[in-house]
Amino acid sequence: TKKLESHPLIEIVRSEVAAIPDGPAIIATGPLTSATLGDALSQLIGPRNLYFYDAIAPIVTAESIDLTAAFKASRYGKGGDDYINCPMNQAQYDAFVSAMIAAGKVELHPFERPLYFEGCMPVEEMARRGPQTLAFGPMRPVGLIEPRTGRRPFAVVQLRQDDYLGQLFNMVGFQTKMTYPEQRRVFRMIPGLERAEFVRLGSLHRNTFVDSPRLLRPTLQLNARDDLFLAGQMIGVEGYVESAAAGLLAAINAARLVNGCEPLVAPRETSMGALLAYITNASRREFQPMNANYGLMPAVENSLRGREKKMAIGERALRSLDDWIRRNCIEPPASSTLVTMQQFEGEIEP
């Protein structure tokens, strides 16, 4: 803070921003953007494109789903194989519902309580309404036949493909306030998900974010205004590092625009590039915030697994980032800006 305050080219104004400024600007006001600025942004982008809460369902990697227990199908045979279905008999369903109701929950803050009236009911709260509520709601089995039995299952958990590479699947309708450890325990009771690798766990909380797939370019420029950049959590990235990375790219591109240069797109092979490609993918039907994870990044050779796979993805990302920095003169050339994955090896989970 002291360095910023003493910098000759930086002016810090500590007051509420009530209007979007003219000229090149970056808006990075975070998840609790003030109502006044939110109204101004809403007028620019349209009220339907600004959200004030998120209802996030868990996402699992495709390779961790057991397809000997689950099966690919769309209801009534319509559509392709975008859905994976995890069938349950009544005993499995009853045990699953009981576990959800009994699981530890994250307490809502007072300002979050109205969310329940906004169509974002946590799945465990639906379960509390009655033992069959989920079986007639998000777990309804209509239009699905389990190939192993030739019959309709008692209930089903549907997983929908969440990325164009088919490496990630979203648990449809499973927004939740269960704690993270409880989500892992309870959701691994689902047939086919016993060994599920979760790249994102569910949540439901107050947030302010925009419909980035319809509003933003991968350069973080607003489609409606070339000289306005959005960054941080309000674009739908989750996490401090992710928010800071988005802010860095927005700042680089704003500076390039002022100096008459084309804004840059981060390389797809990097964590930042993969995440921004995900949140600005205009073909997405629904959008909820996402954190950086290996599942967003282009695949490497199929024979690699676990730590070796993550190391290969990381080394490719560092090479790609180093090349991008050099080609675009983002910083003065040095003998090498490339670090190695061995420096991070102890921090990589198998």
- Residue-wise pLDDT for 36-49, tens only, equals 998 999 999 998 88
Nearest partner of 299 among 313, 285, 315, judged by Cα: 313
Q: Which residues contact 163 (CB under 8 A, 6 or more apart)?
A: 278, 295, 296
CA–CA gap between residue 164 and residue 159 (Å, rounded): 14
Q: What is the pLDDT of residues 229-240, one digit of tens each?
A: 999 999 999 889
pLDDT band, very low/low/confident/very high, at 77 (cuts 50, 70, 90): confident
Q: For the chain, where are the alpha helices, taking DSSP H only?
A: 2-6, 35-45, 90-102, 123-128, 180-187, 212-215, 240-258, 271-279, 306-327
| Residue bearing the bigger pLDDT, 52 or 295 | 295
Mean pLDDT, residues 61-80 taken together: 90
Name beta bridge partners: 25: 228
Q: Is 239 strand, coil or helix? A: coil
Distance between CA atoms of residues 232 and 241, nearest Å: 9
2-53+207-297 is classed CATH 3.50.50.60: yes
Residue ranges per structural domain of the chain: 2-53+207-297, 59-201, 300-350
Q: Of the CATH numbers 1.10.3470, 2.40.30, 2.60.120, 3.40.50, which one belongs to the domain with range 59-201?
A: 2.40.30
Q: Report which of 105, 299, 346, 340 is spatially closest to residue 202, judged by C-alpha positions.
A: 105
Q: What is the total residue count of the chain?
A: 350
Pseudo-torsion of CA 97, 101, 104, 108, nearest 10°?
120
More confidently predicted of 303 and 98 = 98
The string of pLDDT tens digits covering residues 175-217 is 999 999 999 999 999 999 999 999 999 988 777 889 999 999 9
> What whole-number percentage of the chain has pLDDT above 90?
65
User: Which residue is associated with the tokens 């709601």?
Assistant: 137
Identify the bridge partners of residue 209 per DSSP, sorted by sequence position. 51
Q: Which one of 77-81, 255-259, 293-297, 332-336 scores highest in mean pLDDT?
A: 255-259
Give 80-131 as a DSSP string: -S-EEEEEE-HHHHHHHHHHHHHS-BPPPPGGGGGGGGTT---HHHHHHT-T
Higher pLDDT, 333 or 244: 244
